[in-house]
Amino acid sequence: MSTIPLTILILTLLLQTPYTHGEALELSEDTFDEIISNNRLVFVNFYADWCRFSNMLKPIFNQAADEIAAAHEGVLLARVNCDHSKELSQRFHITKYPTMKLWRNGQQARREYRGERSVDAFKNFIEDQLKDPISYVETLVELEEKHLENVKSIVGFFEDNSTPAYTLFSKLSHSLRDDCKFIASFKSNSPLNPVTTYPHVMFRDRDLDNEVYKFGFELESAFRTWVKQKCIPLVREVTFHNGEEMTEEGLPFVLLFYDPDNLEPIKTFKQVVEQELVDQKENVNFLTADGVTFAHPLAHLGKRRSDLPFITIDSFKHMYIFPDYNEINVTGKLRQFILDLNSGKLHHEFHHGPSINVEEDKVNEPDKVRDPIQPPLSSFKNLKPSGNRYSFRDEL
């Protein structure tokens, strides 16, 4: 009679009994991938025993795990001890505790959880993740109403919900639900559809004309790449909701502040970035910001709504204003401004005033002091993760 190896037996029991009453399931390097791939949703709390915020969260997270597991099959709340599972901590770039991340059908969500830390908040978050991310419309009026609710939309017209193209559309809607609104309409119940060929998918943005996907749906990777490029563009909109995660990327912000009643500068800014500055995407984050929503940073810079649009770099130490917005269309001007940040010229001028050649200044006149530019201190560094919610690894 053959025997089952002990490690396989333990893993099998873990998969069959996904949680212990009163506690979130503890994951390790040995069990993580199996648990993630065998459940619809897994919400993971990466923690450290020495972190007081992790310890404060533990009973709340455990209670939520109990209630959610009882209500939804295949939905788990789990924990990873980052001191015991260092490989997982490094694999998912955990630098603060507790960090909470979500997996849907084995795929990691792009954004970590940054919301309220309560049982009800966790339950509401999971309930929202279980909803169909697609909005279905039957008339052009409904379509326009849905479009007006969102900045970016992927709109699909399909013969019915059994086609391969719709299946792919639905799959992408789950993985990119945080970045785009997905809207679908079917030929069978939408006689007013503005298309005659199915499937038909287009991208809609408030400051751009519709862009139709033209490459066919036979190759999943091509459609996936197109949708990702539209939903996660080179130039993104910063808001109070996503500001923390953007600051955590660690790259300086190149910001266009615009008036919400005039969106033309957004088009111009995107065109310049896409034509001249793609090679700088690893050095800076290109962002647009509603100058009315972000009135406080404007005031901090000595600007008012009447001064919009303008461009600034926030280095998370200081903010440097692009001298003349009207020169954005002069080839190389904005690029040089960014290069001056990377070379240290902007910081040098902050201390020593404007100079023609920073390197010559350092050699020939290292002690010469000119009238400093004195840029304001960073405003957006205040959106970084709060020390009142997290313990950071470098605290040790």
pLDDT at 237 over 50: yes
- The residue with greater pLDDT, 147 or 8, is 147
Asked if 334 and 324 count as a contact pair (C-beta separation under 8 A), the reply is: no
d(CA 78, CA 94): 16
Q: Does residue 389 belong to any structural domain of this protein?
A: no
Asked whether residue 75 is assigned to any structural domain, the reply reads: yes
Looking at the 3D structure of the chain, how many domains does it have? 3
- Indicate if 114 and 154 belong to the same structural domain: no
Query: What's the confidence (pLDDT) of residue 358?
Result: 46
Answer whether residue 386 is part of any domain.
no
Same domain, yes or no: 42 and 80? yes
Residue pair 145/185 in contact (Cβ under 8 Å)? The answer is no
Q: Give the confidence band of 371 by pLDDT, cuts at 50, 70, 90.
A: very low
pLDDT of residue 6 exceeding 70, the answer is: no
Between 6-15, 71-80, 272-281, the lowest mean confidence (pLDDT) is in: 6-15
* AA letter at 272: V
Among the candidates 130, 160, 188, a domain finishes at 130
248 and 376 fall within a common domain: yes
- Domain-located, residue 203: yes
> Tell me, what's the pLDDT at 364?
54
DSSP character string of 338-379: HHHHHHTHHHHHHHH---S-HHHHHHH-TT-------PPBPS
Last residue of a domain, one of 100, 130, 160: 130
pLDDT of residue 270: 94
Name the band, by pLDDT with cuts 50, 70 and 90, for residue 17: very low
**Euclidean distance between CA atoms 85 and 322, whole angstroms:** 46
Residue 388 lies in a domain: no
Least confident interval from 17-31, 95-109, 240-254, 290-304: 17-31
Mark whether 59 and 190 lie in a shared domain: no
Please state, for a pLDDT cut of 90, what percent of the chain lies above it: 58
The residue out of 130, 152, 179 marking a domain boundary is: 130
H-helix segments, 114-195: 119-130, 140-148, 164-175
Q: 244 and 161 share a domain?
A: no
The better pLDDT of the pair 191, 252 is held by 252
Q: Among 302-306, 324-328, 351-355, name the one with the lowest average pLDDT.
A: 351-355
Whether 178 is covered by a domain: the verdict is yes
Asked whether the predicted pLDDT for residue 356 surpasses 60, the reply is no
Same domain, 49 and 110: yes
Mean local confidence (pLDDT), 264-281? 94
The confidence band for 369, taking pLDDT boundaries of 50, 70 and 90, is very low
End-to-end CA distance of the chain: 53
- Do 181 and 263 sit in the same domain of this protein? no
Query: Is 242 found in the same domain as 344?
Result: yes
Does the pLDDT at position 192 exceed 60? no
Least confident of 325-329, 358-362, 384-388: 358-362
Q: Is residue 59 part of a domain?
A: yes
- Cα gap 202→49, rounded to integer Å: 48
| Mean pLDDT to the nearest integer, 33-53 | 96
CA 242 to CA 383: how far, in whole Å?
A: 9
pLDDT at residue number 193: 60
Give yes or no for a contact between 171 and 133, defined as CB atoms under 8 angstroms apart. no
Is residue 113 domain-shared with residue 148, that is, in the same domain? Answer: no
Say which CATH number the domain at 25 has. Answer: 3.40.30.10
Residues 154 and 210 in one domain: yes
DSSP code, position 279? G
Closest CA to 258 of 203, 206, 222: 206
Residue 332 has pLDDT above 80, yes or no: yes
Q: What are the percentages of helix, strand and coil residues in the chain, rounded to 5?
A: 40, 20, 40
The stretch 117-121 carries a mean pLDDT of: 97
Q: Give the domain extent around 155.
A: 134-231
Same domain, 266 and 376: yes
pLDDT over 60 at 351, yes or no: no
- Distances in Å between the alpha carbon of 8 and those of 12, 13, 15? 6, 9, 11
Q: With 80 as the cut, is the pLDDT of residue 231 above it?
A: yes
Both 245 and 339 in one domain: the answer is yes
Asked whether residue 166 is domain-assigned, the answer is: yes
Interacting residues of 236 by C-beta distance below 8 A, sequence separation 6+: 242, 246, 285, 286, 287, 288
